[in-house]
Amino acid sequence: MLDKIADIINSSKTFLVTTHIRLDGDALGSELATYHILNDLGKDVVVYNQDKTPDVYKFLPGADVVVHTLDAVESFDVAIILDCSELDRVGDQASHIQSAARDIVSIDHHISNDNFGDHSLVDPSASSTGEIIYRFSEALKVSLTKDIATNIYTAIMTDTGSFRYSNTTSNTFKLAAKLIERGADFRLISELIYETKPLPQIRLMGMTLDTLEFHENGKIGSVLVTQKMLRDAGALNEHTEGIVDLVRSVKGTEVALFYFEMAENDFKVSLRSKREIDVARIAGEFGGGGHVNASACRIKGDIETIKRRLVNVICAMESERVN
Ligand SMILES: [Mn+2]
């Protein structure tokens, strides 16, 4: 499949590259690495995202080329959709992109990928979409520049939680070493992503910790962020990143839940787990998905009912698993 996709890329001229809403490091790093790869091949490339680039990722090489409207773009040969398990994840322009593209290429590492692409490069064993983009660059025989290496390194580092999550393999480390040899400045990238938090984000974290509660003897931990808390802290949506990992880090916690109020009685729930507890399955019960140790879903209703429903589902699945 990799060779077939390389043929399609080589024989095409105009490209749209995009990824999911609520941008993260893997989404942006994979996208901008792809931009540089195609650009180095002399292709015409438009990089489109519905959401604005979070401040923390603005240092990524190529971040300044991203556009947020597709008005002027009528058609292109190939749309490359990155890190999306389904096309709708790109946001409001999904159907426009589908009709404007001759071919849709999906590159992703979600086990829940629904095969929406005309051509799919999906590998659930890859740590990140960035890891697959590296293979993509090799298949296209593009030399690994510092710009490409920096973007791919960022994608891998963020999706593996700095090489700590169970999606990390010895291959991930080998690849990281190669990227560092090609100029990815691992110390600087880590500082820019993890050690440049704006004060409102820290204030929000303090307020969020006040909502911390536990169920099932501490095995399930949860926190809540409301729109009012964001306003009071002067924080942005993107400043909630990492909060759920703080809950998982508590001793004895096996499942961490983060309830984010998107609108009244409308919550996005992020789930994290330790070891073999499959939170993708739990999120799946509510129409969501993701990976074994990290997933998400959206649930409507009042927060107390939602909390009870989630705890019940987690307990039911856990008793099924251990019995
Ligand atoms: Mn990813």
Model confidence over 42-57: pLDDT tens digits? 999 999 999 999 999 9
Q: How far is the CA of 160 from the centre of ligand 1 (A)?
A: 9
Grouping H, G, I as helix, E, B as strand and the rest as coil, residue 268 is strand
Q: How far is the CA of 322 from the centre of ligand 1 (A)?
A: 29
Model confidence over 240-271: pLDDT tens digits? 988 998 999 999 999 999 999 999 999 999 99
Model confidence over 211-230: pLDDT tens digits? 999 999 999 999 999 999 99
Q: What one-letter code names the amino acid at 227?
A: Q
The domain locations on the chain are 2-194, 199-322
Percent of the chain with pLDDT over 90: 91
Percent of the chain with pLDDT over 70: 100
Model confidence over 76-99: pLDDT tens digits? 999 999 999 999 999 999 999 999
- Domain spanning 2-194 has what CATH number? 3.90.1640.10
Q: What one-letter code names the amino acid at 174?
A: K
Q: How far is the CA of 313 from the centre of ligand 1 (A)?
A: 25
Query: Would you identify the CATH topology of the domain 199-322?
Result: Diaminopimelate Epimerase; Chain A, domain 1 (3.10.310)
| pLDDT of the residue at 46 | 97
Q: How far is the CA of 109 from the centre of ligand 1 (A)?
A: 7
Structure tokens of 297? 């879903």
Residue 102, pLDDT > 80, answer yes
Q: What one-letter code names the amino acid at 280?
A: A
> How sure is the predictor about 73, in pLDDT bands with cuts at 50, 70 and 90?
confident
| pLDDT of the residue at 295 | 94
User: Higher pLDDT residue, 220 or 276?
Assistant: 220
| pLDDT of the residue at 318 | 85
Q: How far is the CA of 152 from the centre of ligand 1 (A)?
A: 11
| pLDDT of the residue at 323 | 76
pTM: 0.86
Q: How far is the CA of 3 from the centre of ligand 1 (A)?
A: 22
Q: How far is the CA of 217 from the centre of ligand 1 (A)?
A: 32
Residue 198, pLDDT > 90, answer yes
| pLDDT of the residue at 158 | 96
CA distance 115 to 122: 8
> Which long-range contacts does 193-201 make (Cβ < 8 Å, 24+ apart)?
193/25, 193/56, 193/57, 193/154, 193/157, 193/158, 194/162, 196/56, 197/239, 198/55, 198/239, 200/233, 200/234, 200/235, 200/236, 200/239, 201/233, 201/235, 201/239
Structure tokens of 83? 């890190």
Q: How far is the CA of 23 from the centre of ligand 1 (A)?
A: 10
CA distance 236 to 230: 6
129: nearest Cα among 292, 319, 291: 291
Q: How far is the CA of 305 from the centre of ligand 1 (A)?
A: 30
Q: How far is the CA of 134 from the centre of ligand 1 (A)?
A: 14
Q: How far is the CA of 159 from the centre of ligand 1 (A)?
A: 6
Q: How far is the CA of 29 from the centre of ligand 1 (A)?
A: 10
Q: How far is the CA of 182 from the centre of ligand 1 (A)?
A: 22
Q: How far is the CA of 145 from the centre of ligand 1 (A)?
A: 22
| pLDDT of the residue at 221 | 98
Q: How far is the CA of 32 from the centre of ligand 1 (A)?
A: 14
| pLDDT of the residue at 276 | 85
